Amino acid sequence: MTILAERLKESKLTNQQHRIADYFLKNEERIGNMSSMDVAREIGVSDASIIRFSRAIGYKGFTDLKNDIYNSLAGEASAAVRNMQLSDRFDVLSGKFNDQNIPDTFVELMNYNITKTFHQNPVESYDALTDMILMSKRKYIIGLRGCMGVAGHFARLLGFAVNQVVTLPHNETEAMGILQDIGPEDIFILFSFARYYKIDMFLINVAKSHKARICVVTDSPLAPMIPCSDISFIAETSHMSFFNSAIGVEMIGEYIVTLVCRKNSEEYRKRAKERDALTTEFRMP
């Protein structure tokens, strides 16, 4: 049952509102790109009737209603395609968004990824990971396959703020060798999206056996690595193409680095000044 159907089930509606509800249920995938006037025109009612209907089923207005429908459908699409073969993902998603305004829909989907990612992880979790990073001696960071970019970017930024950031190599054998030195005073941060691979679990188990702190940033609360972690973050990765969107994960990483700099401002300033001094002669005038 969709989120709209759930709302309608609990609402008392007039005869006209039942007609509006029937239209919404049959056109959920179109609603996200329509104005209240567009909807009213197709149903044959006034714009005010659409707004009253939205409020009757518990929303502040039509915009609130259509955003909720859009977010719900985007989340369902993300879950459905997560474990598909790459050859099938594009066909499914390009077909789903085929009749829509591609530029506007793309921006809306990216905004959805950022907003949902931020709010589905408790504020306390961001603070907790920040504290774990600051209390850890070495910070081991890795992301394989599609997560290489976000892991590398996060590690680079974190290196501006704290010392002993270890970016594990993408070569799995080399990564295992370096991780052999991890210990109880360290933290292991893994970025991993579906489709999941055995190497991710192997690396986590190595870190766990050495009693290191473990953080997992992934795309589903059902990810097999989560039970092994001390703290985890779920990123929304919805997209219109074959790949996972990284924008939600980038938001998590950048926000954590922001908190680290604020909580550890003196060390950050010291490291930033030293880095500026070291790189001065290499910069273009």
Beta bridge partners of 142: 190
3-class state of residue 215 by DSSP: strand
pLDDT score of 134: 96
Any idea what DSSP says for residue 99? T
Domain with CATH 3.40.50.10490 in the chain: 119-281
The Cα 215–Cα 17 span in angstroms is 48
pLDDT score of 90: 54
Fold adopted by 119-281 = Rossmann fold (3.40.50)
Domain with CATH 1.10.10.10 in the chain: 1-77
Residue with tokens 């369902």: 76
pLDDT score of 242: 66
The Cα 234–Cα 90 span in angstroms is 23
Radius of gyration of the chain (CA): 23
CATH code that applies to domain 1-77? 1.10.10.10
pLDDT score of 44: 92
Instruction: Give pLDDT tens digits along the chain (285 positions).
Output: 567 777 787 788 898 998 898 888 887 767 766 788 888 988 999 989 999 999 998 888 888 888 777 666 655 555 555 555 655 655 555 655 565 677 887 888 888 889 888 888 888 999 999 999 999 999 999 888 888 889 999 999 999 889 999 888 777 788 888 888 899 999 999 999 877 888 888 899 999 999 999 999 998 877 888 888 999 998 988 776 767 788 999 999 999 999 999 998 888 888 888 888 888 888 777
State the Cα angle at 263 between 260 and 265, rounded to 5°.
90
Residue with tokens 């993300």: 78
Any idea what DSSP says for residue 12? -
Listed residue (236, 238, 223) closest to 190, CA to CA: 223
The Cα 105–Cα 203 span in angstroms is 37
